[in-house]
Amino acid sequence: MRILSWLGSGAGVVVLLLALTLIYLVAALGIAPPISNGNITASFFPVVLGLIMVVALAVSMLGDRRKAAAESDDKPSTEAGASTSFGPLAVVVLTAVYIALFSSLGYFISTTLYAFAMTLVFSAGRPTPGQLLVKALIAVAIAVLGYGLFEWVFQVRLPVLWG
């Protein structure tokens, strides 16, 4: 959980982008030398982009640090005190599971379950049994309306459980 929290911080984003840029730069240099026999190659542009990115990230990080230092003189850091919300993590996990099961479970079952789970994530507080029933009906309605939109209006084929 701490790793996820750090990844979501400003420094974590910079480190993530820097890591991606370094992988990108290494892969670019693996394609060909940027200039060969006086001609630029397929790796020239990506290498230039990678270098611009490293400089931009460094400038951005310095700007953030300067800003944070100026703010810390006036008030405590908001990032450290920020409350952790599990909503975004739940959306990512549920969406990943939905994508994984979409083909095998078919549109109706997977979409109804996904829509139901999403109505729970976007609820204000813990739902009562009666509210759960309403949310289940909403999930079915969303799946049916989605089916109508895609299958009937736009005439595209959606996956089915035993198709």
What's the CA gap between 33 and 18, in Å, rounded? Answer: 22
Nearer to another protein, 109 or 120 (CB): 120
Provide the 3-class DSSP secondary structure of residue 35: strand
Which of residues 154 and 162 has its CB atom nearest to another protein in the complex?
A: 154
Answer yes or no whether residue 10 interacts with another protein by CB under 8 A: yes
End-to-end CA distance of the chain, in Å? 40
Separation of alpha carbons 21 and 15, rounded Å: 10
Near another protein by CB under 8 A: residue from 69, 76, 156, 162: 156
Q: Does 162 bind another protein (CB under 8 A)?
A: no
Report the residue from 15, 29, 57, 113 that binds another protein according to the rule CB under 8 A: 57
Q: How far apart are CA 148 and CA 110, in angstroms?
A: 16
- Three-state SS at 160: coil
Residues 84/5, Cβ–Cβ less than 8 Å: yes
- Between 72 and 145, CB nearer to another protein: 145
Please give the angle made by the CA atoms of 37, 43 and 45, to the nearest 5 degrees: 105
Is residue 106 a contact point for another protein (CB under 8 A)? Answer: no
Among 15, 17, 113, 132, binds another protein (CB under 8 A): 17
Which amino acid, residue 138?
I
| Residues of the shown chain interacting with another protein in the complex, contacts defined by CB under 8 A | 7-8, 10, 13, 16-17, 21, 24, 27-28, 31-32, 35, 38-46, 49-50, 52-53, 56-57, 59-60, 63-64, 85, 87-88, 90-92, 95-96, 98-99, 102-103, 107, 111, 114-115, 118-125, 135, 138-139, 142-143, 145-146, 149-150, 154-158
